[in-house]
Structure 1
Amino acid sequence: MTRLLFLTGPGGAGTTTLAAATALRAAAGGHRVLLLGVSDAGELAAVLGASGVSGDGNVLDIDEGFDLEEGLEDGLEEDGEADREHGELEHGPAADRAARRETLARLTVRRFDPAAATETALADLAKLLSGPLAAAGLSAPDAAELGPVPGLPDILALREISTAVASTEWDTVVVDGPPLKAALAMLAWPETAAAALRRVRPIEGQAARALRPLLAGLVGLPTPFAMVTQWTDNAAAEIAGVRAALVHPGSVVRVVGSSSAAAQPLLQATPTLLALQGLRADLGTLADVARVPEEPLGVAALEALGEIVYKDADPGPGLVDPPEPTMITEADGYRYDVPLPGVERDQLGLVRSGDELVVSIEVPGVAAHRRAFPLPAALRRCRIATARIADGVLRVGFKPDESLWPERFLTDHSEDTQNGDR
């Protein structure tokens, strides 16, 4: 199972530096590692000491304090001669450089280019629309006319992450994420989009059924409903893939702490906001990282930082199930438990909307975070009787309510009874 470490923190907290140190530490432990910068404008390359970034986004020529391509073999050979003279072949500088070379061979560094990804996505969308619009006598829009689309770069970045996690090419994927506030909004997107699709797809299906006789007579004309159905199916599959990458037992969001007073409200609310989305949070590993006098730059300095932070421990997360709601059967009904560690009563909002339970959390200075939980079938025919917070869990009590049963069930049952009496 590919492990995912998504690192984020308040601006200026050193997230990029710690992401690079984490990736190197995992590679030194024998893992094939992808270090992915999703909001990187060159910081990752600068921290690693890379001399450039290739056209496909891969960081090249990581600097170890000497030119990697020209000086590595010469340096190893010279150090090897010196070590042989002093009997230090296994533990001298040559051995250190050889180990570092093996570490770098297991490390791939890549930056996600939001502008290029957005341009490609909009071009694909324009191509998708061209067929149905042409059949209707309309011209297809140019890709430039479709953008910019708010939130699209985040969506594409998440897709890049999920593709990497689904691949068998790496054992560990380390993501250098955006600052904490933006990262929380990005990570909430899959659930927000899934909830929106749940509302769109039934409406689209009902409309398609109602107009099917009319559309059947328009032979050869692509129906908009077929296109919408295909689009929503594809979107649902994409969302499911992203969601699977973020919530599988080997994934964690590791948060870099900060001593800034302004950052404390959001840092304190982060475990709750991540749990609301069903994501694992790790605020302890990097909470008390000692700040070094000078910023670690280059592979050697980052390796030293990794040793300080992780010591002999594996930098990756252990396998733990993410926080998800559970339904519990009680004597007089049911209980629906939603894990929300650290939540305060005055932050919490709770609304029943049809077959969904909508939970929202308000944090000062941050847009409200909400998630619509599709209720299990047993709870859809119940009413909410109680709601309370206990031990970091929102406990919602449900009681069966016959008034919520579908009318047709009662009608069918009545007709069957009458037929039986006859």
Structure 2
Amino acid sequence: MRVLFVTGTGGAGRSTVASASALRCARAGGSTLLLTSDDGALAALGAGGAAGAEPAAAAEDGLPFGAPVAVADGLWVARIDAPAHFRASLDRLQERGESVLGYLGATPLEAEEITELPGAEALALLSALAGLVSGTPGTPHAGRAPYDLVVVDLPPLPDALRLLALPEELRRYLRRLLPPERQAARALRPFLAQLAGVPAPAERLYEAAVGWDARLAAAEAVVTGPGVGVRLVLEPGDRAVRELPQALAGLALHGVALDAVVANRTLPAESADPWLAELSGAQQSALKELRDTADVTELPHLGREPGTAADLAELADALPGPGNGTGAEAPAVDNLLAAEGVLVWRLPLPGAERHDLGLVRRGDELIVTAGPYRRVLPLASALRRCTIERAGLYEGELRVRFRPDPGLWPAKD
């Protein structure tokens, strides 16, 4: 199963391109699922309120969407319902911590008083990613993976890239707060609780932590695995020129592969109307700069807001099919000990600028910053016994030279 994430600058038409991309794949003969929270995109596909008709029931099962609705041959759509998923998730959390809440005298929240909080949409999308691995409701093909392609309509940049990085970050937090080696002490908790006079949290609460890690690992595998790509949607202009290099660097930093860059609402290169000719000229100038950074697919302006299946079909014809995706390049280490006495750690960062880069070593980790994006990367065991000699950006790669620490590196006989 392949996964195509669609994001881009705000107002560039991400949901429209996500819908057209899903339709493009379905028309090519691949079974496709589109996950979106955009009512306009659902209406254009003829789904409307029918998509995700049972979101609450799905949320109780841990999924933020109901049974997908078939809208065309090979194409299913489902509406991500973040509020319903948040309410169901909080209700489950209250059930697992019932004993602790009761001891503290806390009054559980009733379903009617639970309102969606900031971050609920990210939580819903994260659950959707994990659900892609474990299976989705409404499987059209029994006995095998339900869909050839899943298209996920994401929020604008940079929120989308932070969301894609969230599974790895949350797993790191869990490992720091609940180290695996401490799980051996679980058998002592009832005894310690009796000594302290405080009841231990329900066993289900600890089991939930293990379940969270498993689901996060599944979501992380979806984001960085093979067959996964991100389609960036931009409206050609000064903003797109500024944001594309940072977006490329952010994707590479978090190990997410680029599928395509789509310049949406592109006007004809020539027009008899002076006003349109001026706008088109500005777009063409921006497109030239964008092409210097990445390959760009142009999507024509229809002269109207795409609001029907026919409009989406017209746009689908101009879109490329999703690539097979081999995943983004992971950090690599070159062994130059014999020639130069160093190990060189390399991370491809296309589009990155030197003034936007930051590098900090903290113990056995490297904290790399590229513009607004940051990632904490664990060091290989050999590099942990080295000191950083110098680092720099060379030909689109961050390269860090590590020299063995004589006090930690095994001495030669």
TM range (shorter): 0.7 to 0.9
Of residues 137-146 and 189-198 in structure 1, the stretch that sits farther from structure 2 once superposed is 137-146
- Paired residue type of 1:335: V
Relative to structure 1, the CA distance from residue 52 to residue 153 in structure 2 (aligned partners, 3 Å threshold; closer, same or farther) is closer
Residue deviations 1:296-353 (CA, integer Å, cap 9, x gap): 332233222211233xxxx122231322111222212322111211111110111111
Unaligned stretches of 5+ in structure 1?
63-103, 363-367, 410-422
- Partners in 2 of 1:115 and 1:321 — Cα distance? 32
Distance between the aligned counterparts of 1:146 and 1:358, measured in 2? 37
Within 2, Cα distance between the matches of 1:339 and 1:143? 49
Distance 2:383 2:169 in 1: 22
1:258-306 CA-to-partner distances (Å, cap 9, x unmatched) read 1232343222210101111110123435532222222333223322221
Q: Is the 8 A contact 1:5 1:252 kept in 2?
A: yes
Larger Rg: 1
| CA 1:118–1:329: 2 relative to 1, 3 Å | same
How far apart, CA to CA, are the structure 2 residues paired with 1:170 and 1:207? 40
Instruction: Spell out the pairing of 1:338-417 with structure 2 (5 A cutoff).
Output: 338-362=347-371, 368-403=372-407
Partner of 1:122: 90
TM-score by length of 2: 0.76
Partner-residue secondary structure (3-state), 2:234: coil
The 3-state SS of whatever aligns with 1:234 is helix
- 1:194 partnered with 2:171: yes
Equivalent residue number for residue 294 of structure 1: 304
- Shift in Å, 1:359: 0.6
Name the amino acid aligned to 2:365.
E
Alignment-mate amino acid for residue 99 of structure 2: G
- Counterpart of 2:80, as a letter, is F
The structure with the greater share of residues assigned to helix is 1
Q: Is the 8 A contact 2:334 2:345 kept in 1?
A: yes
Give a deviation string over 1:140-182, Cα, whole Å, max 9, x none.
Answer: 6326688655424302212213312553111100112222232
Counterparts in 2 of 1:154-193, with a 5 A limit? Answer: 154-167=122-135, 168-193=145-170
**1:44 and 2:11 aligned:** no
1:153 to 92, 103, 121: 121
Aligned equivalent of 1:68: none
Structure with bigger RCO (C-alpha 8 Å, 6+ apart): 1
Identical positions, percent: 38
Q: Residues 257 and 283 of structure 1 are in contact (CA less than 8 Å); yes or no, is this contact kept in structure 2?
A: no
TM-score, normalised to structure 1, is 0.74
Aligned residue type for 1:128: R
In structure 2, the residue matched to 1:94 is none
Q: Give the Cα separation in 1 of the matches to 2:48 and 2:363.
A: 56
Q: Relative to structure 1, is the Cα distance of residues 149 and 197 closer, same or farther in structure 2, using a 3 angstrom cutoff?
A: farther
Match of 1:223 among 189, 200, 219: 200
CA–CA distance in structure 1, aligned partners of residues 129 and 189 of structure 2: 40
Q: Distance in 2 between matches of 1:214 and 1:244?
A: 38
The answer to whether structure 1 residue 334 and structure 2 residue 343 are counterparts is yes
Verify the 8 A CA contact 2:8 2:232 in the aligned structure 1: yes
CA contact (8 A) 1:155 1:189 kept: no
Superposed CA deviations along residues 199-228 of structure 1, whole A, max 9, x for unmatched, are 21239939959x869618659976349667
CA distance in structure 1 between the aligned counterparts of 2:184 and 2:336, rounded to whole angstroms: 40
Equivalent position SS for 1:328: strand
Instruction: Give how far 1:374 is off.
Output: 1.1
Structure 2 residue identity aligned to 1:4: V
1:384 aligned counterpart, secondary structure? strand
Check conservation: 1:191, 1:371, Cα contact below 8 A: no
Does the 8 A contact of 2:35 with 2:80 survive in 1? yes
Measured in 1, the distance between the counterparts of 2:110 and 2:89 equals 9
Q: 1:385 and 1:106, CA in 2 relative to 1: closer, same or farther beyond 3 A?
A: same
CA distance in 2, matches of 1:241, 1:60: 25
Give yes or no for contact 1:126–1:143 (8 Å, CA) kept in 2.
Answer: no
Tell me whether 1:236 sits opposite 2:213 in the alignment.
yes
State yes or no: 1:322 paired with 2:299: no
Q: What is the aligned partner in structure 1 of residue 108 from structure 2?
A: 141
CA distance in 2, matches of 1:143, 1:350: 47
